[in-house]
């Protein structure tokens, strides 16, 4: 009888645990689907009168431990997120292109792993769930200058949520396209990816020291891991306020091009100088 009672007690405990697990609320998806998107607009709440963009946040004085003073915010604030969702362009799985596409993906994964040690990042299979898209192609020449990598920032207003469910509120979101050339050696590709992903995750500026991943002028060896200055700068950025909420800047008249780095130098300035580009 004691053995049967023990079995019954164990079964009851397991059943209770199963019921608790079944009834536990599901964690929110960190990368909900894009339900709607519209131009970033700046107007007074409740009206249609356009207003000037808010002033960019003050940039602090130089610090020897990081390069925060070299970062550039957008007119709506710092383009940072607590959690980033990244889509990576798929490559060939067979045939002659598979080897080269695999090397490109290996370089991207290595760079992304370095950032994932310091920032919550999820790789997604659907572009509608991503704020960052990595494309396997060489960027076009810009300002008479060629590069193996380039990141381009656009600010948009979005509503996100799961299909069939009510969408969340409108919010301003950074969306970044990163173009990475497959025409480099493995280490050079990884260094380029590490650099451009730094821009994508909000570090719109360049370090003045060659040992940093975001160095304006790369050193003699490819940088394959984040330096202590890279990590310190990222920690400082993540502690800053993000982009202006729709309650502060609400829809009216400004198009995405008005806040694209190509049109507004404070957002990103000239195309980043990728390691190995020159």
State both tokens at 28.
Answer: 């929110």
Share of the chain above pLDDT 90, in %: 56
- For the chain, the average pLDDT equals 79
pLDDT at 111: 98
User: Tokens 């396997």 correspond to what residue?
Assistant: 136
Yes or no: say if 226 and 207 are a contact pair by the CB < 8 Å rule.
no
**pLDDT of 169 above 50:** yes
Least confident of 125-129, 159-163, 196-200: 159-163
Question: Which pTM does this prediction carry?
Answer: 0.76
State both tokens at 70.
Answer: 């070299």
CA-CA distances (angstroms) from residue 62 to 2, 119, 265?
73, 23, 21
**pLDDT of 254 above 80:** no
- Looking at per-residue confidence, does 52 or 179 come out higher? 179
User: How many other C-beta atoms can be found within 10 angstroms of the C-beta atom of residue 202?
Assistant: 25
- Looking at per-residue confidence, does 193 or 250 come out higher? 193
30-268: CATH topology is Collagenase (Catalytic Domain) (3.40.390)
pLDDT at 276: 31
Least confident of 105-114, 187-196, 242-251, 263-272: 263-272
Detail the DSSP E strand segments found in the chain: 34-39, 84-88, 121-124, 132-136, 149-160, 171-180
pLDDT at 165: 86
User: How many other C-beta atoms can be found within 10 angstroms of the C-beta atom of residue 73?
Assistant: 23
Write out the DSSP string of 129-177. G-SEEEEESPPPPBTTB--SEEEEEEEEEEEE--TTS-----EEEEEEE
Q: Domain residue spans in the chain?
A: 30-268
95: alpha, beta or left? (left if phi > 0; alpha if psi -120 to 50):
left
Average pLDDT over residues 81-85: 97
């Amino acid at each position: 009888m004691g053995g049967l009672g023990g079995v019954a007690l164990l079964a009851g405990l397991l059943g209770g645990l199963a019921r608790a697990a079944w009834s536990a609320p599901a964690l929110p998806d960190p990368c909900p689907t894009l339900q709607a998107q519209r131009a970033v607009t700046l107007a007074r709440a409740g009206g249609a009168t356009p207003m000037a963009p808010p002033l960019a946040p003050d940039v602090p004085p130089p610090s020897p431990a990081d390069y925060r003073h070299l970062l550039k915010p957008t007119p709506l604030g710092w383009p940072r997120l607590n959690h980033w969702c990244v889509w990576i362009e798929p490559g060939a799985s067979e045939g002659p292109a598979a080897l080269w596409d695999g090397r490109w993906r290996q370089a991207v994964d290595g760079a992304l792993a370095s950032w994932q040690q310091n920032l919550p990042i999820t790789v997604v299979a659907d572009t509608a769930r991503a704020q960052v898209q990595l494309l396997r192609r060489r960027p076009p020449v810009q300002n008479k200058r060629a590069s193996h990598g380039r990141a381009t920032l656009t600010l948009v207003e979005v509503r996100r949520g799961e299909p069939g469910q009510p969408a969340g509120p409108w919010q301003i979101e950074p969306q970044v396209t990163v173009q990475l050339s497959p025409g480099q050696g493995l280490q050079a590709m990884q260094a380029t990816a590490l650099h451009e992903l730094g821009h994508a995750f909000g570090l719109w500026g360049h370090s003045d020291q060659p040992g940093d991943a975001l160095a304006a002028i790369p050193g003699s060896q490819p940088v394959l891991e984040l330096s202590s200055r890279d990590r310190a700068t990222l920690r400082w950025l993540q502690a800053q306020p993000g982009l202006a909420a729709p309650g502060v800047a609400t829809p009216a008249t400004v198009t995405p091009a008005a806040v694209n780095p190509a049109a507004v130098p404070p957002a990103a300035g000239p195309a980043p100088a990728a390691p190995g580009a020159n």
